[in-house]
Every structure is written in C-alpha cells, then in structure tokens.
Structure 1
Amino acid sequence: MLQLTLHPVELPLRHAWTIAHGTRTVQRNLIVALHDPETGHTGYGEAPAIPYMGVTVEKMVAWFEGVRPTSTLNYITGIPEPGVVEDDWGLYGQDEPPFFPSGYADGFETQIKFAICAIDQAAHDLCAKNRDISTGELLHLDHQNSLLSNYTLGMDAPEVMVAKLREYPDFPSYKIKLGRPEADGGLEVDLAVLRRLREETHAVFRVDANTGWDAEQTIRASGPLRDLDVEFIEQPLPPDAPRSEHEAVYFGSDLPIMADESCQTESDVEKCAGLFHGINIKLSKCGGMTPARRMIAKARELDLKVMMGCMTETTVGISAVAQFLPLLDYVDMDGALLLAPGSDPADGVKLGTDGVAIFPEGAAAHGNGVTLNRELPTA
C-alpha cells in the first residue's frame, strides 16, 4: 500500500526573480514523496507555488489531504500491485505507463493541476524504480543525444542582467525575460537591454515577453530581435487577446512565436495550430508527465515545434523534465540553477554550466534519478 508524504519547502533564490508578473526572492514549493513499503522505493515529484496563478502550497496540501487514503492514491496513480506487468495496465492503455486518463487534469483548478503534476512525477519515478530502470527506459526513450538547455535571465536593470549572464557565460542560448510596462520604459528599454546583452555573447537568444506586449509591439520588435539573433518570441500576447491579434502576430512577425500561457493543458494544443509555430509545455501547468507525453504527440501531428520549460524548481522537478529530452526541439531546464547555492534539497539530473544535462549513473539513475540530500519538513 502506497504511503504519501508532503514536504513544503522554502527556497531562497540566487537573485530576485522578475518577470512581467512581478518579483520574488523566495520560492515556495511542495515536494511529494510516494513510498512503496513492499519494495522500499520512494518516488518524488514537485509542484511550485506560483502567486500570480493563485497556486499556494497550502491549497495543494489541502487537496492531497482529501485523497490521502491509500486506496485513492493507488487509483489516481494507477500503479499496479507488485508483480503486475505493464501489459496488465489495461485501464490506461497497454505497453505504456500513463497514470491519468486523457484530459484528466483539464477540468481542475490550477492548484489541483499543479498537485496532480507532483503526484504524477512521483508515480513515474516510483514505477521505474520498482523495475530497476530509468524513467527514460520505462518510456522507451534514448538519452544519448540530449538537447542543450538555455539559461534564463529574469528582468532587471541592464547592468544586473549583464552580471547574471557573466555568472554563466558558457550556455549556448539564453532566454531573456522582457515585457516591461510602459512606466518602466516599455519596448524601447526591452530592446536596449537585448542590444546590451548581445555585446556580451554570441549565444542564441530566446525572448519571453510573458504576455507583456500587444500585437503592434510584437510585430514592430520582431525585426530588430531577428537582427540580434533571437530564435523565437515566447507568448508575447495575453492568452485572451482577440484571435485576430494572435493571427496578426503569427503572420506578421519576422520570428516564430511559441505558446506558453496559451498552451497549458492537453485541450489547448490543437487551439494553437495556426496561431503559434510551437508550444512550450510546463509539467506543472499541464498536470504532469502523463499529459505532457500526449501533448507532445498531438503537437507533432499538427507540425508544431515542441519546447519543454520549467518553473523555479529543485532538482526533483528538473529531473522529470530531463526524461523528455529526446522528444523535444528546445528545452529550458535551468530552474535549480536559479536557487541560492546550497538550497536545492535533491540530487538527480543536474544541469551543467554549459547547458548539458548530467544524468546519474548506475542504480542512482533508476526512475527520474531523484534522491533527497537532507531531511525535509512535513505537512
């Protein structure tokens, strides 16, 4: 019978983190431990608290308390009893380990989707550990040719953003958070910052406006951004902007447009076709690794590029993202590097300062490769 333990953690950040939605210096997350006493293995998953989305640790804990009975946990994870083989997982499909049926997370409030993501990551981690294989093997994926991750620079004064880049100067690409309000100089300051950063590196840039621009600004900015070797623009418009504005950007921009806030769950992927050139999947937003696999498959059907990103997460969440590398065109898995030194409570897949994902070896690689490196508080 599975045992659930909830670990609320407070994570000081390396720098104040600013995007178009606000600034924070501490990140609160929930780490979920799913223990199988019959095998002795524990799977781990993570969900971040995101204030601007209304997601708090307290709300996620409250949801978990409602499903704490072991029988309910076994049902929602779909983990079979010991000795049951993959082909007997007929409830959710054969020869694959999806722990939630299609569309399962779509109807829930955001904080519940984040909680579902944590338990889904833990279920994948535990299921593979129980079989003494990696989650990549469980998903029939080969991690020999891993993508290189970008490193993200949160919005700040130009000289501060330059200093952040100099801390990690060897990444092949950088995601630059833009989208300043007009009171802070708006688009003109955004472009000036990017020009200043370009003086520091020849690496590829990716711009994330976090819904901070309108259609006219996006189209106007796209030419100068292209000339500064920007690869794409991520989510310039709010998701609820009129379809005509999204279409104007899609057809009028000099750069590809990637969806983020406009593509949060499985049902959003098809809506992005004809409005975006690709999607950025966040495990927390979509409800975990199970729906993410289906979102990737649907995006490929629609000829959309696929990126997977992260929130400000520990190595628990980053190790789950890393399992998908063979299926992606781009990846942003730098969340643990944004934490203050020594604050990451987990070991697993680590991101090198050159963007390379470093996987554990031997038995440590089983599951998502996650172990905790210290005792954590419990809810």
Structure 2
Amino acid sequence: MSLRISAAIERWPVAGQFIIARGAKTFVDVLVVAVSDGNHVGLGEGTAIYYRGETAENCLAQVEAVLPALEPLDADEARKQVQHLLPAGAARNALDCALWDLVAKAACQPLWQFAGLKHPPRPLLTAFTISLGEAALMERDAANAAAKGFGLLKLKLTGEDDYARVAAVKSGAPEARLIVDANESWGHLDIAAEAAALADLGVEMIEQPVPAGQDALLAGVRAPLPLIADESCHSAADVARLAPYYDGVNIKLDKAGGLTEALKISAAAKAAGMKTMVGCMLSTSLGIAPAFLVGQDADWVDLDGPALLAEDRDAGFIFAGGKISPPADNL
C-alpha cells in the first residue's frame, strides 16, 4: 500500500525569551510531517539543529526530496529506507517519528507498546531550563521556576562567570537539584577544578564541557561529577568512541534523526555502562511524545520544550509538580 506524505513549517512563540550561549529565541519553527496509508495518519515533528546549519526550510526541502522514493512503499519499509535516504537531523526525525506513529496506529497499538516498552509510560521528573543571563536575573528565574514546582533546574553556562551564575540560582532555588550545560565552552579551562567548584554548590551533572570533536581534552580528567556528551553524540556508533571520555550521553531525537536511532543510542550506552539523559530542542508536545518514551529508562530527563513556549498543542503534555505527564490519548 502506497503512502501519502506531506510536510509543513509551523511557528510557535516562546514564553518571553529562551537564551543560551549561541543566542536568544523568541519563537521556534518546527517541521511537521504527516504520513497517511489511506486509513491512518501518523504525525511527527522536528526542530532544526541550528548549530549544525539546519533551518526549518532546508529540513522541509530534505523531506520533499525523498518523497518519490518513500511514497510507493508501505510504512514499515519506508521507515527502514528513511534511515539511509536522509542524514541524522530534524528532517529524518520528523519523518521517522511520523512513520512510527502510523505503523503503531495501523497495528492498533499504543506507540509505547509498539516500541517495545514493557509498561505504560509513567510521569517523569523533568529539568526546567534557566535561560542564560546576569546572575540576578537567573536567580529570579530560578525562584519562579521553583515556585511552579520544578525541582530539577538546568543552567546554561558560557565558561565565564559560571560559578556566580550557579551560586545565584542556588540562592534563588535552594532546594532544587541542579544540572548544567557548558555548551562546549570549557575547552580552555581546568575542567576538574571547574567541576569541583560547581559540585560544592550542589551541581550533579555537567553536559558537554568541551567542543565537539575535541573530546580527547577530557582524557585523564577526574571530575567529581558525571560528564555527559551532547553535541558530540549523534548516533549509536558514537558511543564507543565517547566512552573513554564521558560518563554518559544526552539523547535528542533531532540529533539522532528519530526514534529509531534514539533507541539504538540508549541501548548502546546502557551496554557500555554509561548513563543516559534524554533532552530536546524547543518543540511542542508532538515532538516530545517519542522522546518521552526513550526517557522512561534515562537517568536524567530534560523535556521542557513545550513548557518554554507561550502555548502548546491541544491535549499536550502536562507539567505539574516538576513532572511531565502525557494525556491518556497522547501515546
């Protein structure tokens, strides 16, 4: 049975501004893919990995370029072929997840069951991101997040004034657990010393301290906190290369190119004795739904994308008490 595939770009406003070391965002453009077999429709969403040169527009063009190859196939075969037709990235993510959704619906199974989970997905404690800013502003934002029930806060750092920013957040939310994302900015620093200083403030994990491709800078580093690869890890094949330098990997479906590869990364990391984190780009609940399944077996979950938007899709994920929970019909 042949498929009918359509794709479109949607713009969603951010609540205020989302600021990291690479710049500020007031909206996010997401790529939405719909795949129909004539009886069911599967949906998937991807957010362009801007630091890899992706845009929503070139992701849309990637999807449109492979439609002639995919539409004559059935959904199972199309899901296999898209892994080879497109590189890892947001375009493949949106297509892959739409095909997973379609195949699960055609099989009359919830996606979690079709994906091999043994139990229905449970609510998960999720990090909430504190945007980069002056220490006083981050302190205020941390206090506001804690007042909303978020007990795990993630800070974006730059390699400059990091201690002051973390100390301010700790002051604003003294009971919160803290994790930090160095965003590749510590390549010139004494990483063990930086990590030790942040550990004294209660930080429990550090993402991507060195630039991607310069992971060997971590050789011999004995940090008191787990170091997690983010920008350095895109596929299951990366895990063995990163294992000597990192304690774990951050799995994002947009980086991995979909649920198919994300599940492989999770399995490879677990087999290597590494920790896993499941993260996201700015996205709606449609983009979060498959990542939520991977997060069921993760050590840290950072799926606050919809919570950072001014509005979400109807019947989206519920954020309450610091946890992310799906509505009954979401998965």
Deviations 1:126-161 (A, max 9, x none): 111223321111123113544311111121122322
Aligned to 1:197: 169
Aligned to 2:134: 157
Given residue 332 of structure 1, which amino acid in structure 2 is its aligned partner? D
For the structure 1 residues 262 and 10, does the alpha-carbon distance in structure 2 shift closer, same or farther, using more than 3 Å as the test?
same
Aligned to 2:233: 263
Aligned to 1:345: 313
Q: Does the alignment pair 1:4 with 2:2? A: no
Using the TM superposition, give the Cα deviation of residue 79 of structure 1 relative to its aligned residue in structure 2, in angstroms. Answer: 5.2
Q: Does the alignment pair 1:61 with 2:60? A: yes
Identity %: 31
Given residue 237 of structure 1, which amino acid in structure 2 is its aligned partner? V
CA distance in 1, matches of 2:63, 2:188: 41
CA distance in 1, matches of 2:150, 2:283: 19
SS in 1 for 2:126: coil
Aligned to 1:294: 264
SS in 2 for 1:32: strand
Using the TM superposition, give the Cα deviation of residue 109 of structure 1 relative to its aligned residue in structure 2, in angstroms. Answer: 4.9
Using the TM superposition, give the Cα deviation of residue 273 of structure 1 relative to its aligned residue in structure 2, in angstroms. Answer: 0.9
Deviations 1:14-55 (A, max 9, x none): 122222222222211111111231x2x221111112333211
Aligned to 1:72: 70
**Which aligned pairs between 1:2-151 and structure 2 lie closer than 5 A?**
2-37=3-38, 39=39, 41-69=40-68, 72-73=70-71, 75=73, 77-78=75-76, 99-100=79-80, 104=83, 109=87, 113-141=89-117, 142-143=119-120, 145-151=122-128
CA distance in 2, matches of 1:3, 1:230: 48
| Two-structure CA RMSD over aligned residues (Å) | 2.2
Aligned to 1:360: 327
For the structure 1 residues 13 and 242, does the alpha-carbon distance in structure 2 shift closer, same or farther, using more than 3 Å as the test?
closer
After TM superposition, the score normalised by the length of structure 1 is 0.80
Using the TM superposition, give the Cα deviation of residue 66 of structure 1 relative to its aligned residue in structure 2, in angstroms. Answer: 1.6
After TM superposition, the score normalised by the length of structure 2 is 0.91
SS in 2 for 1:16: strand
Q: Does the alignment pair 1:174 with 2:150? A: no
User: Which one is further off, 159-168 or 313-322?
Assistant: 159-168
Deviations 1:100-129 (A, max 9, x none): 37x946x9556xx32111111111111112
Aligned to 1:372: none
Using the TM superposition, give the Cα deviation of residue 345 of structure 1 relative to its aligned residue in structure 2, in angstroms. Answer: 3.5
Given residue 35 of structure 1, which amino acid in structure 2 is its aligned partner? S
SS in 1 for 2:67: coil
Aligned to 1:206: 179
* Structure possessing the higher relative contact order (Cα contacts under 8 Å, 6 or more residues apart): 1
Given residue 336 of structure 1, which amino acid in structure 2 is its aligned partner? P
For the structure 1 residues 74 and 114, does the alpha-carbon distance in structure 2 shift closer, same or farther, using more than 3 Å as the test?
farther
CA distance in 1, matches of 2:318, 2:313: 15
For the structure 1 residues 160 and 100, does the alpha-carbon distance in structure 2 shift closer, same or farther, using more than 3 Å as the test?
farther
Given residue 145 of structure 2, which amino acid in structure 1 is its aligned partner? Y
In structure 2, stretches of 5+ residues that fail to align are: none
8 Å CA contact 2:112, 2:121 repeated in 1? no
For the structure 1 residues 163 and 2, does the alpha-carbon distance in structure 2 shift closer, same or farther, using more than 3 Å as the test?
farther
**Which aligned pairs between 1:271-310 and structure 2 lie closer than 5 A?**
271-310=241-280
Using the TM superposition, give the Cα deviation of residue 318 of structure 1 relative to its aligned residue in structure 2, in angstroms. Answer: 0.8
For the structure 1 residues 145 and 29, does the alpha-carbon distance in structure 2 shift closer, same or farther, using more than 3 Å as the test?
closer
Using the TM superposition, give the Cα deviation of residue 258 of structure 1 relative to its aligned residue in structure 2, in angstroms. Answer: 0.4
For the structure 1 residues 213 and 146, does the alpha-carbon distance in structure 2 shift closer, same or farther, using more than 3 Å as the test?
same
CA distance in 1, matches of 2:156, 2:75: 36
For the structure 1 residues 133 and 212, does the alpha-carbon distance in structure 2 shift closer, same or farther, using more than 3 Å as the test?
same
For the structure 1 residues 128 and 109, does the alpha-carbon distance in structure 2 shift closer, same or farther, using more than 3 Å as the test?
closer
SS in 2 for 1:10: strand
CA distance in 2, matches of 1:154, 1:76: 43
CA distance in 1, matches of 2:47, 2:230: 17
Aligned length: 326
Aligned to 1:216: 189
**Which aligned pairs between 1:320-331 and structure 2 lie closer than 5 A?**
320-331=290-301
For the structure 1 residues 144 and 336, does the alpha-carbon distance in structure 2 shift closer, same or farther, using more than 3 Å as the test?
closer
